[in-house]
Amino acid sequence: MKITRKNFVRGDVAAVPPSVALGALNNRFGWAQAADFDSDVDVLNYALTLEYLEAEFYRQGNSAGLLSGKEMQYLDAVQADEDSHVATIAATVKQLGGQPVAAPAVDFGDSFASRESYLTTSHVFENLGVQAYLGAAGFISDKAVLQAAAGIFGVEARHAAVVGNLLGLEAEGGVYMGATETPLDMAQVLKAVTPFLAGAGAMGEGAAVTL
Amino acid sequence: MNESQIFDGQPVLAFRSEHDRRSFLRSAALVGVGAGFAGFYLSDPSPSSWSAFGGAMAKPSPKQDLEILNYALTLEYLEAEFYKQGVAGGVLKGRELDLVTPIRDHEQAHVEALTATINDLGGKPVASPKFTFPSGTFTNRDKFLATAGTFEELGVKAYHGQVPRIDSVDILAAAASIAGVESRHAAVIADLTGGEPFPAPIEANLPMAAVLKAAMPFIK
């Protein structure tokens, strides 16, 4: 059976064959589940939720006075990027006739206790963002949206690498995560962000995801 | 060898400047990208422009996917050879060498993965062109890293440029999983050279012809 984007987008995941092409890339594909998204608006609201988390994380983190010099400049730029992603994705949801989800209530715990804990949590968020975008990409049907989402995905990868390097992590496995990025599906992503959400109901009414 | 001899070269893109495009992307909704910029995208087959520009905009197809994979393979050949010579050249030390050595390995892995994918799809992987690098590229740290930065940023834009043209979701996912790694490389190299690791909130893209034009000076 020929796999088209159209039937993939509709969630016909069972139709996806074990692909030799993907095998060649030695990729462990965590496609989002068929029921995760019904439309581009769904995918974008999922992305928006993660971007809200990141934007708020950097707003708090950069206000904590933990960084200086080049590190501060870099993290300021990261915050500006996440703010831009929030604004851009929310505008896109509206343009597609959807309703942007509300920002979740968050609790970053001890993340801002030190420079190291801040950057370590940042590294987690950025890599998670990369994996979330990749896992959901196949569900975007509008090609202009898809191309722009790919451009956001790449920026999250940049953030992840640079923060990993600021932490002095091993190049492979710290700065880079292998020769290819690894996607995660929505359930895996939500499990990873749950510790940063302020309890059940944190996603708010009309949220893309519920806990 | 000229552009049109490799991969049925596309017409050259004529957007006004990279800066204009980035500024636009900073404030635009994602869906505005294709439609709003159609005038600057005469060669860029974003979905809204297929019907408007007719024959020049080939719709995604399995045949086109193979062309895109061979295009990506050629760029990966270039990067793989560049880093192979660069790491062997001994111009980097310490942390810089630690950061660049995996890049060499990634580019080689990309060459192998793309080659295998093209074969699996029944296509014929293109042979590697012969490459030429300016004198001093592998004996001068600054020169080497500056060229690395050029290649990585070009590679990122090249992958993104093909996103709307890819037919198979499998290939799209595979290409994206490579592109993200190129983004990491680009950011790290920019950090090492005192450049800008995060040049825009949304990465730009370039069509095939513009990328090939930039790569031509390195192809014998």
CA-based nearest residue to B53, from B37, B38, B70? B38
The C-alpha atoms of residue A105 and residue A194 are separated, in whole angstroms, by 11
Q: Which helix (H) or strand (E) holds B23?
A: helix B18-27
Concatenated DSSP letters of A57-84 = HHHHHHHTT---HHHHHHHHHHHHHHHH
Would A136 be classed as within a structural domain?
yes
The C-alpha atoms of residue A67 and residue A76 are separated, in whole angstroms, by 10
The C-alpha atoms of residue B6 and residue A158 are separated, in whole angstroms, by 30
Would A14 be classed as within a structural domain?
no
Residue B200 carries which DSSP code? -
Q: Does B180 touch chain A (CB under 8 A)?
A: yes
Q: What's the confidence (pLDDT) of residue B48?
A: 37
Q: Does B58 touch chain A (CB under 8 A)?
A: no
Q: Does B204 touch chain A (CB under 8 A)?
A: yes
Span of A7-11, A38-42, A93-97 with lowest mean pLDDT: A7-11
Which two tokens mark B73? Answer: 């393979």
pLDDT tens-place string over residues B58-78: 788 999 999 999 999 999 999
Would A82 be classed as within a structural domain?
yes
Closest chain B CA to residue A174: B99
Task: List chain A residues with CB under 8 Å of B185.
Answer: 161, 176
Judge whether residue A47 has pLDDT over 50: yes
Strand partners, A172: A176
Q: Does A72 touch chain B (CB under 8 A)?
A: no
Would A64 be classed as within a structural domain?
yes
Query: Residues 97..126 of A with a Cβ closer than 8 Å to B: which?
Result: none
Whichever domain contains A188, its CATH number is: 1.20.1260.10
Would A177 be classed as within a structural domain?
yes
ipTM value of the model?
A: 0.84
**In tens digits, what is the pLDDT along chain B, a chain of 220 residues?**
344 333 333 322 223 333 333 333 344 455 544 333 332 333 344 433 333 232 335 788 999 999 999 999 999 999 999 999 999 999 999 999 999 999 999 999 999 999 999 998 999 999 999 999 999 999 999 999 999 999 999 999 999 999 999 999 889 988 999 999 999 999 999 999 999 999 999 999 999 999 999 999 999 8
| Cβ contact A161–B188 (<8 Å) | yes
Kindly list the distances between the CA atom of residue B57 and the CA atoms of A3, A197, B47, B213, in Å, as whole numbers in the listed order.
22, 45, 9, 19
| Cβ contact A151–B26 (<8 Å) | no
**Assign residue B211 a region: left if phi > 0, alpha if psi is -120 to 50, beta otherwise?**
alpha
0.80 exceeded by the pTM? yes
Which of B21, B25, B26, B31 to mutate: most A Cβ within 10 Å? B31
Task: For residue A138, give the nearest of B169, B180, B197 by CB distance.
Answer: B169
The C-alpha atoms of residue A136 and residue A89 are separated, in whole angstroms, by 15
Kindly list the distances between the CA atom of residue A112 and the CA atoms of A61, A75, B143, in Å, as whole numbers in the listed order.
6, 13, 39
Query: Residues 135..164 of B with a Cβ closer than 8 Å to A: which?
Result: 156, 159-160, 163-164
Would A16 be classed as within a structural domain?
no
Judge whether residue A154 has pLDDT over 80: yes
Would A18 be classed as within a structural domain?
no
pLDDT tens-place string over residues B171-200: 998 899 999 999 999 999 999 999 999 999
Number of separate domains in chain A: 1
Which of A5, A94, A158 to mutate: most B Cβ within 10 Å? A158
Closest chain A CA to residue B119: A21
Task: List chain B residues with CB under 8 Å of A86.
Answer: none
Q: What angle do CA B123, B128, B133 make, to 5 degrees?
A: 150
Would A3 be classed as within a structural domain?
no
If one counts every other C-beta atom within 10 angstroms of the C-beta of residue B152, the result is 23
CA-based nearest residue to A130, from A203, A180, A73, A168? A180
Concatenated DSSP letters of B43-81 = T---GGGHHHHGGGSPPP-HHHHHHHHHHHHHHHHHHHH
Question: Cα distance from B27 to chain A (closest Cα, Å)?
Answer: 7
| Cβ contact A180–B113 (<8 Å) | yes
Query: A69: buried, middle or exposed (CB in 10 Å: 19+, 13-18, 0-12)?
Result: exposed
What residue numbers bound the domain in which A187 lies? 37-203
Which two tokens mark A177? Answer: 């995560």
The C-alpha atoms of residue B205 and residue B43 are separated, in whole angstroms, by 12
The C-alpha atoms of residue A113 and residue B175 are separated, in whole angstroms, by 39
Question: Cα distance from A71 to chain B (closest Cα, Å)?
Answer: 11
Higher confidence at residue A201 or residue A146? A146
Q: What's the confidence (pLDDT) of residue B213?
A: 93
Task: For residue A175, give the nearest of B32, B167, B184 by CB distance.
Answer: B184
The C-alpha atoms of residue A182 and residue B142 are separated, in whole angstroms, by 32
